[in-house]
Amino acid sequence: MDEIAILGVGMHPWGKWGRNFVEYGAKAARDALADADVPWEDIGLVSGANTVRNGYPGWVSGSTFANALGFQGAQLSSSYAACASGATALSIARAQIHAGVCDVALVVGADTTPKGFFAPVGEDERPDDPDWLRFRLVGVTNPVYFALYARRRMELYGDTPHDFATVKAKNSRHGVHNPNARYPKEFGVADVENSPVVADPLRLLEICATSDGGAALVVSSMDYAKSRGIKDPVRVAGISTVGPTYPNAVVDMPYLASDSWNAAGDAEHTFKRDIAQVAYDEAGVGADDLDLAEVYDLSSAYELDWYEYLGLCAEGEATKILHAGDTTVGGRIPVNPSGGLGAFGEAIPAQAIAQVCELTWQLRGQAGGRQVDDAKVGLSINYGMFGHGSSVICKK
């Protein structure tokens, strides 16, 4: 796959600001344009990642953000793929650049979130919607799924709640160096273990919060970058937006049941193992080539699953590389040097874009106190509810 260049990145800090999401996206976009030193008039495509909790403007985010910055005739796209929306929006920008539709594109996502658990959108009764059914009939919140996976790790691999708390403590040590993090605070294992249980065995400090925030990228063809005199930009070398292969034997949000592996497949099959491979193949790299990874730590224990899904270690060995310090900044393969979702909370349509912002800062050597030495290849990965995989590989 031909590469595209990342010319500029920008973020609005994560938090619980309670303002209009458009404000966060516009701020991030202006920062990305300034970082790229690209005039707004040059942007040929605005590719927005949608939010579903902010009314109609959220569903037409490409138009909303372009309008907020001032309509100048760019083409527009608005994408929704749950937590993977940002990667989808980036994939559309790449496709339109490669198609010759535009030379340079703005990718932007932002969200304003309600307090507390995510709940189904809308007040009506919808027995045909699995997202409605799981809340109505069983009371299954998102952390319930994270906890089922955590308990499964304890059963299969002997992981302990102490291991999970260690992940949170590690990421919090990274997050203190990130000015965009919502919780730039160091938490120890004891802090985690003293916080209340949300979904046994997971505690409050181990569960991703819902946050406000915004993130943006200015991306272009390699020729456009060259025309601006940028010789060695960070490049997007691979994007995965892959969906599952039947049967998904591990029950996933928002379903009440897994797929049946009776006629085909195996009992532990989950497509989360397949998400990164598409990006690895496009980029022509493997797990051993990575210098850092930004992974989707919806819970502390979930980060350990990603080590294995990415191939950073063998199945069941995640706690070994965690305790060896491999995944801490300074270690063999730092994971979530940004502080991850544990330090940010999630702003859904902005999150996958924010991951790419972090990869860019790391590969440029601009990550300050959380900098991974001599980083050349970075990967981000996440997963959008209902089966949207997403992974981006950047190179320098």
List of residues contacting other proteins (CB under 8 A): 116-120, 123, 125, 127-128, 130, 132-141, 143-144, 147-152, 155, 196-202, 244, 246-251, 255-264, 267, 387
Cβ 142 to other proteins shortest distance, Å: 10
Best CA proximity match to 68, nearest among 46, 38, 87 = 46
Instruction: Return the number of the residue (71 or 117) whose C-beta is nearest other proteins.
Output: 117
Cβ 146 to other proteins shortest distance, Å: 9
Instruction: Return the number of the residue (66 or 140) whose C-beta is nearest other proteins.
Output: 140
Residues in the chain: 396
Could you tell me if 90 and 356 are in contact, meaning their C-beta atoms sit under 8 angstroms apart? yes
Structure tokens at 252: 């996933």
Cβ 246 to other proteins shortest distance, Å: 6
Cβ 235 to other proteins shortest distance, Å: 35
- Write the CB contacts of 313 (distance below 8 Å, at least 6 apart in sequence): 307, 320, 321, 326
Q: Which of left, alpha, beta for 292 (phi over 0: left; psi -120 to 50: alpha)?
A: beta
Instruction: Return the number of the residue (98 or 162) whose C-beta is nearest other proteins.
Output: 162
Cβ 232 to other proteins shortest distance, Å: 44
Please list the residues that pair with 8 across neighbouring strands: 218
Instruction: Return the number of the residue (114 or 284) whose C-beta is nearest other proteins.
Output: 114
- Write the CB contacts of 139 (distance below 8 Å, at least 6 apart in sequence): none
Helical H segments across 311-391, by residue range: 318-323, 340-344, 348-364
Angle CA(31)–CA(37)–CA(41) in degrees, nearest 5? 90
Q: What are phi and psi of 147, to 5 degrees?
A: -70, -35
Cβ 259 to other proteins shortest distance, Å: 6
Instruction: Return the number of the residue (24 or 118) whose C-beta is nearest other proteins.
Output: 118
Instruction: Return the number of the residue (101 or 137) whose C-beta is nearest other proteins.
Output: 137
